[in-house]
Chains A and B, each alone.
Chain A
Amino acid sequence: MALSDTGTARRPIGLEGDAFSRWLSQHSPTLLLGLLLVLLPAAATDFVLDQIVGWTLVLGMIALSLMFLAGYGGMVSLVQMTVAGLAGYSITVLGASSLPSISLFWPWWVAAPLAILIAVAFGTLAGALSARTEGIYTIMITLALASAFFYLTLQNWSIFNGFNGFTSVPAPIFLGVNWKSPVPLYYLILFCAGLSYVAVLYVSRAPFGIALQGARDNPRRMEAIGFNVMAHRIAAYAFAAVIAAVGGILLVWLNNQISPGTAGIQATIDLLVIAVVGGLGHPIGAFIGAFIYVILRTFALDALVAVGLDGRRFQTIIGLGFLVIVLFSPDGVIGLWRRWLARAASSRRGIGR
C-alpha cells in the first residue's frame, strides 16, 4: 500500500525532474522489493530464506518461462516444468549425486552448461512440435509431452533411476564459497531470478518481444508484413527454456534431490496454476503466484487443521482458489491489483462515482 502511495505521489515531480528521478519513481516498488530481498538474510531464519523465499523465487523463475510464452506469445506451454526437470536430471547425471553408478561426477562448470544446453534443446524441439499447431492445441500437445517425460523418468532405471530418483545432489563449491549453505544459495537464487526477471522485461520491449506479441494478436497479419511467425515462436520457446533450465538446476540444488514427481503431471499443472493465479500480464505475476502457492503449500495444512477442517483437503483449496481466479479475475492477482489501483486513483481524483 505504502509502495503505491509513494509511486503516485511522486509522479508530478518526476514529470518535471530529470530522467533518472522519473525512472526511480516509476520503479520504486520494484526497487524497494529488490532491496528488501537483498537485505532479507540479515533478518530471516534459514527456513524462511530457503524454504519460503528461495523456493518462491525458483518456482517463480520456472513459472516466469511459462508466463513469457503464454503472456507474450499466446502459447500456454505445459512443457516448461519438464524442461526444468530435464535440466535437473541432467545436472544430476552429469554432476554428482549419491549414486556413483549413474552420475558421472563432472565438474560443475562442465555439467551445468551442458545440462542447460540439453534442456534448451529439448524445450526448443518441443516448441517446434507444438508451434506447428494453433492456440488451444498447444495445451494438449505439451501436456502429452510432459507426461511422456514423466513416464519415461518413472520407467527408466538406467539413466533416471526410476521411481527413486536421486538424492544428495550438492550445489558446487567455487570461488571459495560453499553454495550449498543457505545464505550463499539464497543469493545465487536471488541473482538468477532477478536476472531472468529483468531479461524477460527487456525482451518483452525489444523488437523480438514486440514481434512476438504481434504474432500472438494476429499471426496472419504479422506473416503478411514479412515476419516469420514460426521462427519467432520457436525462438521464444528457446528463450523460455533457458530460464526454465536454470530454474530446474537451482530447484535440484535447493531440494537436494530430484525424482519423477519433480516434473510430474501434478507439478506441471501446479506450475500452470501458479502462472495463472499470479497473472499472465506481467513478469512479476509469476513470482506472486509462486509466493501464494508456497505459502499455501507450507501453511495451509496446519491452518486447515487449526480451523477444524480436514488437512487433506488442501488440493480442493488450491483448485477452488484457482477456479475463483479464473472465473472472476482472468488476469490473476495482478489484474485485481491493477483494478484496485485504478479505482483508488480515480476516487482520489474525485472521478469515482
Chain B
Amino acid sequence: MATALGDEGTARGARRGDALGRWINHHPLAALSLAVIVIFCLWLILAPWPQGFEDWFGRKRLFINALFNGITLGGLYFLVAAGFTLIFGLMRNVNLAHGSLYLFGGYMGYEAGVWTGSWLLSFVVAFLCCAIVGAAMQILIFRRMEGQDLRQTLVTLGLSIVFADLMVWVWGGNAIQIDTPDYLTGPVPTPIVVALKPSGDAIFLQYPRVRLVIFAAAVLIGIGMWLALHRTRIGMMIRAGVDDRDMLSVLGYRVQLLFVLVFAFGAGLAGMAGIVGGTFQSISLGEDSHFLLASLVVVIVGGMGSIPGAALGALIIGLSEQFGLVYFQNYATVATFVIMVVVLALRPQGLLGRR
C-alpha cells in the first residue's frame, strides 16, 4: 500500500514537477519509511490495540489521553510562544518578562471573571491589561535603548523579578483555578476507539470539551496570525521589519508605531494564554518562569522569529511533556530539554528558523 502511494506520487510529481513529488523521487527510501510511519501512527490512533501490544506498550487509553493532552497543551504553549517569537523576530528583544505577562493576564482574567461572571469577557480584559502593560514597556523603556539587545534583555529580567514579587504581594502564593463556564464543562464523545468491551462493543474516547474548544481557538488564532502576516498591509510591514527594520524605517514607515503594536499584541496574547492556563491547570507563583522557559524552548526548537516554527515547536514540546509524564515519569521535564539540545546540535537556528 505504501509503495503504491509512493509510485503514484512519483509519477505525478515527475509530470508536474511539484516539490513533494520531486522530494519522493530523490529520496525513495525516506519517503517509503515516512509513509510507513504515518500509517503506523494512524493505526495507533484509530484501531483498537491487540492484547499483546497493550501488554507490551501499556493501555491505549493512556496513550490517546497523552496524545490529546499533548496536542492541547501545545495549543496553550503556542499562544504564549507566538507573542514571544513575534516580539523577538521584529525587535530582537528577548522579553524575559513574557512569563510575568502570562501570569498577570491569568490573574486579571480571574479578577474579571469574578467581577463580571463572564469567562469570555475575561479574555478581553486580560488581553487589554497585558497589551497596555506591554505597550507601556515598549514606549517607556525599550524605545530609549533601541539596538542594545543585551541591555533590553537585562531590563526585561529586572522587570520580571519586580513583577513576580508584586504579584505575590497582591495575590499571594496560593494557586488560583479559573472556573470553566457551564456551557464548556463536561466531556465530548470522539470517534476514537480506546478499548473493546468483552462483548466486542467499542469504547469511545470522552474528552473535556473546554480543552478541544481552546485548542480550536488556538489553531484559529494561529491561522489568523498567518493570514494577518501574509495578506494584510500591516503584516507586510511586520515581515519587512523582521527582515530589515532599518530599511523599513528609511522607506518612511512608522516603525516605532509598529513596534508598539506588535509588543502590545504579543503581550496581550500572553495574557489570554494566562486565562487558558488558569482553566487547564491553575495559576500560581512560579508559573511565570515555567511558561517563560516553555516559550524559550518552543522558540529555540521551532526557530526564532517564525510563527509556523512556534506552532511546530509548541506541538513537539507539548507532546513530549505529556508522553514523558506517561512513559517516563521521573524525567518528563528533562526529555523536553533533551529535544532542545538535540535540535541545537543539529540545527542551531531551529527547525523552521532562517539564518
Among A130, A136, A316, A327, contact of B166 (Cβ-Cβ < 8 Å)? A316
* Inter-chain contact A315/B161, CB cutoff 8 Å: yes
* Inter-chain contact B157/A140, CB cutoff 8 Å: no
Q: Given contacts A139-B94, A151-B337, is CB(A313)–CB(B155) below 8 Å? A: no
* Inter-chain contact B165/A141, CB cutoff 8 Å: no
Contacts of A136 in B (CB 8 A): 92, 94, 149-150, 153
Interface residues of B in 138-176 (CB under 8 A from A): 141, 148-151, 153-155, 157-162, 164-166, 168-169
**Is residue B19 contacting chain A, with contact meaning CB distance below 8 A?**
no
25 contacting pairs across A/B (C-beta < 8 A): A129-B341, A132-B348, A136-B94, A136-B153, A140-B296, A144-B293, A144-B297, A144-B300, A145-B337, A147-B289, A148-B333, A151-B333, A151-B334, A269-B161, A272-B157, A312-B168, A315-B161, A315-B165, A316-B169, A318-B161, A319-B162, A320-B158, A320-B162, A323-B159, A326-B155
Contacts of A152 in B (CB 8 A): 331, 334
Q: CB-defined interface of A207-219 with B at 8 Å, one 1/0 digit per residue? A: 0000000000000
* Inter-chain contact A327/B155, CB cutoff 8 Å: yes
**Is residue B345 contacting chain A, with contact meaning CB distance below 8 A?**
yes
Contact-size category for B: 35 or more
Q: B112 CB to closest chain A CB, in angstroms?
A: 25
* Inter-chain contact A326/B154, CB cutoff 8 Å: yes
* Inter-chain contact A141/B161, CB cutoff 8 Å: no
Q: B30 CB to closest chain A CB, in angstroms?
A: 26
Contact-size category for A: 35 or more
Contacts of A63 in B (CB 8 A): none
**Is residue A322 contacting chain B, with contact meaning CB distance below 8 A?**
yes
Among B159, B297, B304, B345, contact of A129 (Cβ-Cβ < 8 Å)? B345
* Inter-chain contact A156/B165, CB cutoff 8 Å: no
* Inter-chain contact B348/A133, CB cutoff 8 Å: yes
* Inter-chain contact A144/B151, CB cutoff 8 Å: no
Contacts of B336 in A (CB 8 A): 148
In the complex, what distance in Å separates the CA atom of A133 from the CA atom of B337?
A: 17
**Is residue A255 contacting chain B, with contact meaning CB distance below 8 A?**
no
User: Ordered nearest first, which 3 A-B pairs have the shortest CB separation?
Assistant: A319-B161, A148-B337, A319-B162
In the complex, what distance in Å separates the CA atom of A320 from the CA atom of B163?
A: 10
Contacts of B162 in A (CB 8 A): 315-316, 319-320, 323
In the complex, what distance in Å separates the CA atom of A139 from the CA atom of B92?
A: 13
* Inter-chain contact A132/B344, CB cutoff 8 Å: yes
In the complex, what distance in Å separates the CA atom of A312 from the CA atom of B285?
A: 14
Contacts of A141 in B (CB 8 A): 300, 344
Interface residues of B in 5-45 (CB under 8 A from A): none
**Is residue B330 contacting chain A, with contact meaning CB distance below 8 A?**
yes
Q: A131 CB to closest chain B CB, in angstroms?
A: 10
* Inter-chain contact A135/B330, CB cutoff 8 Å: no
Contacts of A272 in B (CB 8 A): 154, 157
* Inter-chain contact A76/B158, CB cutoff 8 Å: no
**Is residue A143 contacting chain B, with contact meaning CB distance below 8 A?**
yes
Q: A158 CB to closest chain B CB, in angstroms?
A: 9
* Inter-chain contact B157/A155, CB cutoff 8 Å: no
Contacts of A312 in B (CB 8 A): 168-169
* Inter-chain contact A155/B334, CB cutoff 8 Å: yes
Contacts of B349 in A (CB 8 A): 133
Q: CB-defined interface of B287-302 with A at 8 Å, one 1/0 digit per residue? A: 0010001001101100
